[in-house]
Amino acid sequence: MWDKKKTITACCITFFVTVAITMGFMRIFNVGIGDKVFVSQTDYENMKAAAYRYSAVDKMYKFLEDNYYQDLDEEEMVTGLIKGLFAGTGDPYTRYMTEEEYADMEKSYSGEFEGVGVSMNVSDDGYIEVISVIDDSPASKAGIRDGDLIVAVDDVRYSGEQLSEAAAVMRGEKGTGVKLTVSRGGVLMDFNLVRAPISDISVSSGMLEGNIGYIRIASFNNNTAQQFKKELQSMENKKAAGLVIDLRSNGGGLVDQSVEIADMLMNEGTIVYMENGKGEKTYYTSEAGRTELEYAVLVNGGSASASEILVAGIQGNDEGTIIGTQTYGKGITQKTWKLAGGGGIEITVSQYFAPDGGVIHKKGITPDIVVDFEESDITEGVVTNDRQLQKAVEILSGGQQR
C-alpha cells in the first residue's frame, strides 16, 4: 500500500524544486515568457542606470535625425558622444582619442614625429596655451613663445576643448606648410610654419666658463634618462667644477624618465608621492649614491609636469639650487589605455605632491633664487642676456665637488 501523505509531500517538494530551478535558469539566461523577460537583479539595476544616463542622449540623437538639414554620420556622432563624456570631467588631460590621435600621442613620447614643435595645454580661460617650445623646431625658429595662445590653425578656430583636434592638424608630413594664429598680449599674430622632423634628442650639453658643465633637458621622452646619464658621466670624467641643468620650457613627458634622472641627482629620499582618488599613496624614492658634482637647476613658467617632479625631489631634499621663475604647476598624472578598436583613452589618475606634502598643481614651485629677465635682456623674442644662467654660474664657480 502506498503512503498517500508521503506521496503528496514528495510531489510538493518536486514542484517547488522544479519552480526554483526554472526561475534560476530564467534569471541566469534572461529567459522570456510571452512579452515579459526575466533578468537578474544586477542586470535590472544596470539597465535602470543606463536608461537614466543615456535616455536623454538618445532623445537628442533622434531629434537631430529628424531636424538636421543633412544626413548624420553615425560613427562620427558616437565618437563625439564619447569625447563629450570625457570632456564632462572638466579636465583637459582626460580624453578619448581616435586611432589617429592615439598614434600621434605615441609618436610624441617616442620623440619621433613631424610637426611644428610645441607643447600645449588648456589655459584657465579655455584657450589652447603654448606651455613650451621645442628647441630648434619650426615654432622656435619662427618666434612662437611660451604663453602664446593658439586661436586658429590654417584659419580654422579651435578652443581648448578641441586641443587634440588642433594638435592633430599641426602635425603632418615634413615640408608641408601650416599657419598658426596666436594671441600674445591680446594682439593676434600669424605664423606660417613648415613642418619638420622633431628631433628625438632631448638632451644636449656643453661647457661654460670656469669649467662649468651645462646639460639641457628639452623634454622627457623614452630615452631621456639614458641620454642624460651619458652626458652626466662625461661631465664627471671632465671633472667639471659644477653643473647647470636647464629645464626651462621643458613641458614634461614620461614620469619614469624624470624619476630615473632624479635618482642620479639625489641621495636616498622621497622624490614625490602620488595620491589617487581613493586616497591611496604611491611614493617615488631615490637610492643613495648621487653624482659628486654640485649643480644648479634652471626653471621658468614653461617647466611643467615631469620637470616639476624632478625639481620637487631636488628642492625637497636640498640636493641642488633651483634658479629662475615660478614653474607651471601641472601636478597631476595620467594613465593611458589602448582600445581594441585602435583608439585610446587617457585619464588623470592621481595628483603628485612635493616630499613635504606641498601642493604643486595649479601653484607651481618657487625657485630657491628667483631671477627674472628684464626688458633689455630680450631682443625680438630672443634672450640676449641670460641672467638666470649667469646666476647659476656665479653660484657654482666657487663650489667644490662633494
Helix, strand, coil: what percent of the chain each, to 5? Answer: 35, 30, 35
- Report pLDDT for 400: 46
Question: Which residues have C-beta within 8 Å of that of residue 59, sequence separation ≥ 6?
Answer: none
Angle at CA of residue 200, ends 199 and 202, nearest 5° = 100
Can you tell me which residue has the cell 602620488? 274
Q: For 124-180, how does the pLDDT look when each residue is reduced to its tens digit (9 = 90+)? A: 788 999 988 888 889 989 999 888 999 999 999 998 878 878 888 998 889 999 999
d(CA 97, CA 79): 9
CB atoms within 10 A of CB 344: 19
d(CA 41, CA 49): 12
CB atoms within 10 A of CB 297: 27
- Report pLDDT for 191: 95
Using 50 as the pLDDT threshold, list the residues of the chain that sit under it: 1, 15-17, 19, 22, 25-26, 28-29, 400-402
The three grid cell numbers given for residue 329, joined into one nine-digit string: 604647476
User: In 278-349, which ranges are continuous DSSP H helix?
Assistant: 306-316
The one-letter amino acid code at 123 reads S
Residue 63, sorted as left (phi over 0), alpha (psi -120 to 50) or beta, turns out to be alpha
Burial of 78 (0-12, 13-18, 19+ CB in 10 A): exposed
- Report pLDDT for 100: 86
Task: Give the CB-side neighbour count of residue 334, counting CA atoms within 13 A.
Answer: 18
- Residue count of the chain, please give it: 402
- Report pLDDT for 31: 52
The pairing of beta strand 321-324 with beta strand 295-299? parallel
Phi, psi of 348 (to 5 degrees): -70, 120
The pairing of beta strand 321-324 with beta strand 281-286? unpaired
The three grid cell numbers given for residue 219, joined into one nine-digit string: 623634454
Burial of 190 (0-12, 13-18, 19+ CB in 10 A): exposed
Phi, psi of 207 (to 5 degrees): -120, 135
**Torsion sign, CA atoms 153, 159, 163, 164:** negative
- Report pLDDT for 123: 82
DSSP 299: E
